Amino acid sequence: MDTLFHNTNDAVIVMDELGVIMHWNPKAEIIFGWSATEAIGCYFHNICLPDHNCEPYLKMIKQSSQGQLVSETMEIVAQRKNLAEFEINLGISHAAINGKTFLIGFAIDITERNQVRDKLDKQKEFYENILNCIPTDIAVFDANHKYIFVNPKAIENEELRKYIIGKDDFEYAEYRNRDDSVAKLRREQFLEIKKSAKEIRWEDSIKDPNGHTITHLRRLFPVFNEKREISMVIGFGIDITERKLLEEKQTAILNQLSSQNTQLVDFCNIVSHNLRAPLVNMAMLANFIEQSTDEDEKKLLISKLNPVINNLHNTFNELVESIQIRQDHEISSEDILLEDCLQRALGGLELEISACGGVIEKNFYDAVSINFPSKYLHSIFQNLVGNALKYKSPVRTPLIRLESKREGDSIILSVSDNGLGIDLVKHKDSIFKIGKVFHRHPNAKGIGLFMTKTQVDAMGGRIWAESTPDQGSTFFIEFKKQKI
């Protein structure tokens, strides 16, 4: 008992029922600064508590002196001999020895403890502030995929945020009356992480209430305990909508640049070849005319000038037209009934159709109309149907099928024939190039498909072909961003 009294870590003070100190252990000497000799015989509150703060203690002593059994612990500000104030945890209890009542006090200096606690509180506040204010969704899961923590950015509603702790995504989805598709997906991802012990990241896009697409970059990564087991999984998502938009813009610009570059190279080729060819002919003819002394020969040479000039003129006009198509970003699109537009185009091909007895079949039920510049669509029908007639098989009556189909917000128009076809293995890269002709035909100039592609490209669409030589060809045009 005595050893305990002397060696304990607490200050032990034995008082009579009025609070006069009778015993004062060495720890009490250290904590309060008073030696046992000085302390014994004094009222505890007189030497150890500041006047302004001894109320609760005195109240207790009073109760005790009135015969009540007290046993109380309080945190209270105490005072050292040097008047410095500090916090103690003071426990007082009754003890009756040999019929006499004593009060035994245990005091622990808790200044440090409180400082630590304050510090911890501040730290906690600091981290909570970060977690709560950071513009990032954060969720922390335990090893069983139950929520341990969710920050307000992830779930704004405080009630829901509290609800979700200890629950999983399935429970949450049910609580919010949502289907469990997202929960299923997240569970798969979670299991994947548990299996691979590696983080996963992905992008997901959702529509906000205003219909704007919001994209998040999400990461889920495991945190391991010292046994290398997954102790929790942290998930966070950052809103990268702006970056995404920027990226999309950049990609669009890049595509535009590269397509413009291709156009420039094409254009250079066109100028250096298609325009230069008639010019060379003209120069040579002029040269021969100059040198010729024979009148008949001169006449012959002069007669050859006109077709060359016409050729130059046509090529030049076609080039200018193709440039205009590329430059004309202002051309307005309208909703055009495919049936109407086709009939107008067929009107211009009446002679050719009746000459060969060609059959035209169409199916525009899936997409009745297309939003496109009317002039271009007319020219597209004219070119594609015109080609199908021009390059018909010598042994088959032309059968031309036109069809429109919806695919997402695009409409695919296809024009197929049973004509000569094109060997796409050989000509894949050149079918839409200017001046490319694949079959002997007096009116083949290699302009039609080039113009069609130029018009489709200019409107952001896509054109491609499938073909088997001597069986037929199908041309497809994708008209993008159509009304659904």
Selected from 187, 304, 344, 480, the binder of other proteins by CB under 8 A is: 304
Question: Would you say the C-alpha torsion 160, 163, 165, 169 has a positive or negative sign?
Answer: negative
* Interatomic CA distance for residues 265 and 104, integer angstroms: 101
Task: Please state the closest distance from residue 412 (CB atom) to other proteins, in A.
Answer: 29
Token code pair at residue 350:
């009446």
Element (H, E) at 219: strand 213-224
Nearest to 385 by CA among 348, 412, 411: 348
Of 79 and 387, which CB lies nearer to other proteins in the complex structure?
A: 387
Task: Please state the closest distance from residue 468 (CB atom) to other proteins, in A.
Answer: 17
Selected from 116, 223, 253, 283, the binder of other proteins by CB under 8 A is: 283
The helix/strand/coil state of 301 is: helix
Selected from 272, 310, 343, 471, the binder of other proteins by CB under 8 A is: 272
Selected from 28, 88, 308, 477, the binder of other proteins by CB under 8 A is: 308
Choose the binding region for other proteins from 105-113, 284-292, 356-364, 464-472 (rule: CB under 8 A): 284-292
Selected from 189, 281, 333, 371, the binder of other proteins by CB under 8 A is: 281
Nearest to 341 by CA among 321, 359, 362: 362
Nearest to 233 by CA among 148, 324, 357: 148
Q: Binding mask 415-434 vs other proteins (x if CB under 8 A, - otherwise)?
A: -----------x--------
**In 26-128, where do the E strands start and end?**
71-79, 85-97, 100-109
Q: Which amino acid is at 313?
A: H
Selected from 437, 462, 478, 480, the binder of other proteins by CB under 8 A is: 437
444 touching other proteins, by CB under 8 A? yes
The helix/strand/coil state of 368 is: coil
Of 71 and 287, which CB lies nearer to other proteins in the complex structure?
A: 287
Choose the binding region for other proteins from 79-87, 281-289, 367-375, 395-403 (rule: CB under 8 A): 281-289
288 touching other proteins, by CB under 8 A? yes
CA angle 288, 291, 297 (to 5 degrees): 60
Q: Which amino acid is at 395?
A: V
Question: Sheet of 147-150: strands edge to edge?
Answer: 147-150, 136-142, 230-239, 213-224, 200-207
CA diameter of the chain: 158
Choose the binding region for other proteins from 207-215, 238-246, 262-270, 402-410 (rule: CB under 8 A): 262-270
47 touching other proteins, by CB under 8 A? no
Q: Which residues pair with 90 in a beta bridge?
A: 74, 107
Choose the binding region for other proteins from 126-134, 285-293, 371-379, 448-456 (rule: CB under 8 A): 285-293
* Interatomic CA distance for residues 448 and 353, integer angstroms: 18
285 touching other proteins, by CB under 8 A? yes
Q: How many residues bind other proteins (CB under 8 A)?
A: 29
446 touching other proteins, by CB under 8 A? yes
Q: Which amino acid is at 475?
A: F
Task: Please state the closest distance from residue 445 (CB atom) to other proteins, in A.
Answer: 9
Selected from 276, 313, 375, 428, the binder of other proteins by CB under 8 A is: 276
Selected from 258, 269, 317, 397, the binder of other proteins by CB under 8 A is: 269
113 touching other proteins, by CB under 8 A? no
Task: Please state the closest distance from residue 390 (CB atom) to other proteins, in A.
Answer: 12
Element (H, E) at 342: helix 338-347
Residue 226 has phi, psi (to 5 degrees) of -65, -15
261 touching other proteins, by CB under 8 A? no
Element (H, E) at 57: helix 55-65
Q: Binding mask 218-257 vs other proteins (x if CB under 8 A, - otherwise)?
A: ----------------------------------------
Of 436 and 462, which CB lies nearer to other proteins in the complex structure?
A: 436
* Interatomic CA distance for residues 347 and 429, integer angstroms: 32
Of 183 and 434, which CB lies nearer to other proteins in the complex structure?
A: 434
Query: Could you say which DSSP state residue 20 is in?
Result: B
Selected from 167, 436, 480, 481, the binder of other proteins by CB under 8 A is: 436
Residue 425 has phi, psi (to 5 degrees) of -65, -40
* Interatomic CA distance for residues 272 and 261, integer angstroms: 16
Cα distances from 73 to residues 108, 344, 408, in angstroms, run 11, 101, 74
468 touching other proteins, by CB under 8 A? no
Choose the binding region for other proteins from 75-83, 101-109, 303-311, 388-396 (rule: CB under 8 A): 303-311
Of 283 and 359, which CB lies nearer to other proteins in the complex structure?
A: 283
273 touching other proteins, by CB under 8 A? yes
Residues interacting with other proteins, by CB under 8 A?
A: 265, 268-269, 272-274, 276-277, 279-281, 283-285, 287-288, 304, 307-308, 426, 435-441, 444, 446
